[in-house]
């Protein structure tokens, strides 16, 4: 039973409770507990063994019992009871935009259907339109939403979200009347997947309608979902929803803060305001009146997010850290956190070439790295077992080394200060061993050990497989630890907290795979990583020249995970990197 298993169960309870129309606060408690458990630095089983579950913030007696029951029986009584009331299939309906839990319950009760496909049919046949309180317009909206969901999925990867958000943001920012403008929401916080895109602008109310008009007329907009005095929602080409909110300039700092979230972060901020005799909401910071109510006549003027934080005795919290995962303790004492930035990176590690499944030659990849100002490239093609990806035979390996030697020599003779490291992304075989005999492994400058097959091994087997791989003296970096593909495939069932401890013990780095499909190591393990001193490497896993630029997403995740540059291998110069590699046994 991993933390992720427990979190998933609790989240299921939360969703079913919403559908069953249970008390909203009781339901939210389960969602909060799920989030907390996902972010724990220790395994939940340890808490159970030590009987300290209720010491975890947000875990009360009753949820603690549910968790224990889950461990003992594989299920939770509260969940079983809910499943009697509402079928599990309805959970998916929550992703249909414009359809809330109440209407879902109504449709289910009246029509007895549980699958999205049945819902679509019921909308087409007129059965949904005939229900009281729904009507043809609602039915049409549901159909459209289902069609988008079928085509694009409920959430987007970070790269897909930026592809829409950046041009729309640039466009809005430069419209007449827009005084300030920012991307807010999960995208500003660099979450690994994005539901909808939130943009917020400050403007005089008299300019709002012309701004909205321009916004809804943008080339990327395919449908207007809603339009009011202060908010407009549109659907864009790639199926994403974009919300634009326009607020008065004096409301801007509080509104930006509110719509950046996270919800969990906001809740704590509001508590802090109350403790200080103030109220914080999306309109601003206000004094409380004698009845402890928000006194809108007594605003506490603030001109920036920083000032609001200051009034709450906090330093500015960068958006990436606004997740209620320790930022309040930290930023009450420190005015900033040292985190890695794009400009700190000196090299590119983990890239493929035409020797395996990459699109470009080693030389082309090296030149692209030079153009981007990097000092080195660590080539790491696939190993021999990865036949589907053109893995290298031992003979290929030796020939590749010769090619790299020649390239390095030619760079030197041309006076180019650039070096290619001989690496390998070696498959971790079923028993945890690497994919070549030691005499070959020895010849590499570095080995990234990754699992590419049998990702679904039973938990215990998977853990000992990883342990062997981490303890192999030739392993320098562990690649994409869970193997997840965001929005497509779950990762392996592993305890990352434990793996981080093993990696730290052996001086092995765990990469942040910067491909927007992976973003693995997950940022939620950042606190554990910081506490233990884990090293990482921000690796593009590039299969083409464009792939190199995915590093940008890796840096976002590394910042979110609180990695300072000293714990990021590819901030080292080529010389320092080589020293680090040689300093390790193997």
Residues near ligand DGT (CB under 6 A) are 185-186, 191, 194-196, 198, 258-259, 261-263, 266-267
- Shortest reach from residue 165's CB to ligand DGT, in Å: 11
Q: Output the six-digit token pair for 227.
A: 């339009």
Q: For residues 28 and 14, give the distance between their C-alpha atoms in angstroms, rounded to a whole number.
A: 6
Question: What pairing do the DSSP bridges indicate for beta strands 419-427 and 446-450?
Answer: parallel
Candidates 191-199, 211-219, 508-516, 525-533: pick the segment binding Ca ion (CB under 5 A).
191-199
**Which of 155, 350 has the CB closer to ligand DGT?**
155
Q: Which does 241 bind (CB under 5 to 8 A by kind): Ca ion, Zn ion, ligand DGT, none?
A: none
* 192 contacts Ca ion (rule: CB under 5 A): no
* 493 contacts Zn ion (rule: CB under 5 A): no
Q: Output the six-digit token pair for 468.
A: 């062997």
Q: For residues 257 and 188, give the distance between their C-alpha atoms in angstroms, rounded to a whole number.
A: 11
Q: Which does 259 bind (CB under 5 to 8 A by kind): ligand DGT, Zn ion, Ca ion, none?
A: ligand DGT
Q: Which does 267 bind (CB under 5 to 8 A by kind): Ca ion, Zn ion, ligand DGT, none?
A: ligand DGT
- Shortest reach from residue 89's CB to ligand DGT, in Å: 22
Q: For residues 224 and 233, give the distance between their C-alpha atoms in angstroms, rounded to a whole number.
A: 6
- Shortest reach from residue 374's CB to Zn ion, in Å: 20
Cα–chain center distance at 408: 37
**Which of 11, 346 has the CB closer to ligand DGT?**
11
Q: For residues 432 and 442, give the distance between their C-alpha atoms in angstroms, rounded to a whole number.
A: 18
* 327 contacts Ca ion (rule: CB under 5 A): no
| CB-CB contact of 448 with 478 (8 Å) | yes
Write each residue from 222 to 261 as x if it is in contact with Ca ion (CB under 5 A), else as -, in one continuous string: ---------------------x------------------
Q: Which does 38 bind (CB under 5 to 8 A by kind): Zn ion, Ca ion, ligand DGT, none?
A: none
**Which of 302, 450 has the CB closer to Zn ion?**
450
Question: What pairing do the DSSP bridges indicate for beta strands 156-157 and 193-194?
Answer: antiparallel
Q: For residues 82 and 69, give the distance between their C-alpha atoms in angstroms, rounded to a whole number.
A: 15
Q: Residue of minimal CB distance from Zn ion?
A: 450
Nearest in space to 571 (alpha carbons), one of 550, 555, 548, 549: 555
- Shortest reach from residue 524's CB to ligand DGT, in Å: 15
Q: Which does 577 bind (CB under 5 to 8 A by kind): ligand DGT, Ca ion, Zn ion, none?
A: none
Q: Which does 173 bind (CB under 5 to 8 A by kind): Ca ion, Zn ion, ligand DGT, none?
A: none
- Shortest reach from residue 450's CB to Zn ion, in Å: 4
Question: What pairing do the DSSP bridges indicate for beta strands 241-247 and 197-202?
Answer: parallel
Q: Output the six-digit token pair for 575.
A: 């010389």
Task: Classify residue 276 by its DSSP letter.
Answer: T
For residue 521, whether the previous peptide bond is cis, meaning omega lies within 30 degrees of 0, is yes
- Shortest reach from residue 498's CB to ligand DGT, in Å: 29
Q: Which does 450 bind (CB under 5 to 8 A by kind): Zn ion, Ca ion, ligand DGT, none?
A: Zn ion
Q: For residues 152 and 297, give the distance between their C-alpha atoms in angstroms, rounded to a whole number.
A: 46
Q: Which does 381 bind (CB under 5 to 8 A by kind): Ca ion, Zn ion, ligand DGT, none?
A: none
- Shortest reach from residue 351's CB to Zn ion, in Å: 11
Candidates 154-162, 444-452, 494-502, 575-583: pick the segment binding Zn ion (CB under 5 A).
444-452
- Shortest reach from residue 513's CB to Zn ion, in Å: 8
Q: For residues 560 and 562, give the distance between their C-alpha atoms in angstroms, rounded to a whole number.
A: 5
Q: For residues 361 and 383, give the distance between their C-alpha atoms in angstroms, rounded to a whole number.
A: 17
Q: Which does 31 bind (CB under 5 to 8 A by kind): Zn ion, Ca ion, ligand DGT, none?
A: none
- Shortest reach from residue 95's CB to ligand DGT, in Å: 10
**Which of 186, 450 has the CB closer to Zn ion?**
450
**Which of 255, 424 has the CB closer to Zn ion?**
424
Sorted by sequence, the CB contacts under 8 Å of residue 333 that are 6+ apart come out as: none
* 367 contacts Ca ion (rule: CB under 5 A): no
Write each residue from 447 to 476 as x if it is in contact with Zn ion (CB under 5 A), else as -, in one continuous string: ---x--------------------------
Question: What pairing do the DSSP bridges indicate for beta strands 241-247 and 231-236?
Answer: antiparallel
Helix (H, G, I), strand (E, B) or coil at 305: helix
| CB-CB contact of 128 with 103 (8 Å) | no
Write each residue from 194 to 223 as x if it is in contact with Ca ion (CB under 5 A), else as -, in one continuous string: --x-x-------------------------
Question: What pairing do the DSSP bridges indicate for beta strands 538-539 and 241-247?
Answer: unpaired
* 554 contacts Ca ion (rule: CB under 5 A): no
Instruction: Give the residue carrying structure tokens 């089983």.
Output: 45
Q: For residues 254 and 506, give the distance between their C-alpha atoms in angstroms, rounded to a whole number.
A: 46
Instruction: Give the residue carrying structure tokens 């579950």.
Output: 53
| CB-CB contact of 122 with 111 (8 Å) | yes
Q: For residues 32 and 404, give the distance between their C-alpha atoms in angstroms, rounded to a whole number.
A: 51
Q: In the complex, which residues of this chain contact Ca ion (CB under 5 A)?
A: 185-186, 196, 198, 243
Please report, as ranges, the residues that interact with Zn ion according to CB under 5 A.
Answer: 450
């Amino acid at each position: 039973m991993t933390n992720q298993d427990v979190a998933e169960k609790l989240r299921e309870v939360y969703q079913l409770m919403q559908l069953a129309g249970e008390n909203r606060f009781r339901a939210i408690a389960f969602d909060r507990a799920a989030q907390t458990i996902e972010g724990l630095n220790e395994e939940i089983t340890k808490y159970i063994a030590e009987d300290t579950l209720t010491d975890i913030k947000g875990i009360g007696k009753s949820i603690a019992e549910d968790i224990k029951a889950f461990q003992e029986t594989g299920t939770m009584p509260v969940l079983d009871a809910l499943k009697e009331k509402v079928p599990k299939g309805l959970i998916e309906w929550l992703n249909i935009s414009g359809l809330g839990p109440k209407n879902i319950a109504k449709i289910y009760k009246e029509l007895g259907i549980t699958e999205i496909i049945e819902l679509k049919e019921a909308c087409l046949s007129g059965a949904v339109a005939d229900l009281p309180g729904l009507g043809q317009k609602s039915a049409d909206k549901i159909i459209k939403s289902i069609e988008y969901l079928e085509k694009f999925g409920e959430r987007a990867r970070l790269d897909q979200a930026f592809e829409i958000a950046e041009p729309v943001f640039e466009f809005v920012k430069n419209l007449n009347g827009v005084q300030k403008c920012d991307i807010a929401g999960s995208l500003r916080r660099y979450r690994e997947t994005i539901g909808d895109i939130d943009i917020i602008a400050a403007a005089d109310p008299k300019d709002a309608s012309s701004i909205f008009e321009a916004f809804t007329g943008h080339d990327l907009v395919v449908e207007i979902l809603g339009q009011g005095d202060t908010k407009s929602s549109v659907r864009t080409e790639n199926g994403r929803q974009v919300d634009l909110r326009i607020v008065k300039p004096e409301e801007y700092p509080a509104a930006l803060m509110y719509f950046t979230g996270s919800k969990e972060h906001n809740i704590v901020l509001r508590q802090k305001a109350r403790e200080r005799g103030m109220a914080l909401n999306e309109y601003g910071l206000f004094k409380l009146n004698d009845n402890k109510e928000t006194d809108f006549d007594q605003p506490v003027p603030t001109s920036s997010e920083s000032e609001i934080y200051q009034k709450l005795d906090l330093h500015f919290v960068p958006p990436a850290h606004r997740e209620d995962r320790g930022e309040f303790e930290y930023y009450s004492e420190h005015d900033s956190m040292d985190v890695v930035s794009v400009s700190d990176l000196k090299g590119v590690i983990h890239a493929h070439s035409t020797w395996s499944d990459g699109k470009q030659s080693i030389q082309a990849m090296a030149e692209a790295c030079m153009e981007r100002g990097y000092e080195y490239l660590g080539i790491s093609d696939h190993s021999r077992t990865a036949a589907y990806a053109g893995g290298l035979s031992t003979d290929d390996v030796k020939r590749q080394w010769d090619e790299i030697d020649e390239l390095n020599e030619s760079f030197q003779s041309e006076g180019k200060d650039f070096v290619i490291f001989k690496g390998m992304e070696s498959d971790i075989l079923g028993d945890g061993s690497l994919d070549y005999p030691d005499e070959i492994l020895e010849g590499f400058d570095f080995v990234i050990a990754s699992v590419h097959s049998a990702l679904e091994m039973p938990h215990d087997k998977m853990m000992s497989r990883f342990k062997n791989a981490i303890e192999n003296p030739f392993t320098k970096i562990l690649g994409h630890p869970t193997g997840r593909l965001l929005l497509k495939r779950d990762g392996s069932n592993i305890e990352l907290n434990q793996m981080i401890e093993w990696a730290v013990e052996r001086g092995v780095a765990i990469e942040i795979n910067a491909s927007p499909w992976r973003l693995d190591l997950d940022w939620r393990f950042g606190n554990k990583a910081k506490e233990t001193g884990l090293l990482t490497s921000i690796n593009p896993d590039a299969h083409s020249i464009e792939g190199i630029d995915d590093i940008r997403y890796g840096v976002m995740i590394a910042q979110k995970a609180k990695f300072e540059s000293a714990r990021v291998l590819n901030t080292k110069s080529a010389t320092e990197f080589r020293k680090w590699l040689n300093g390790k046994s193997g």
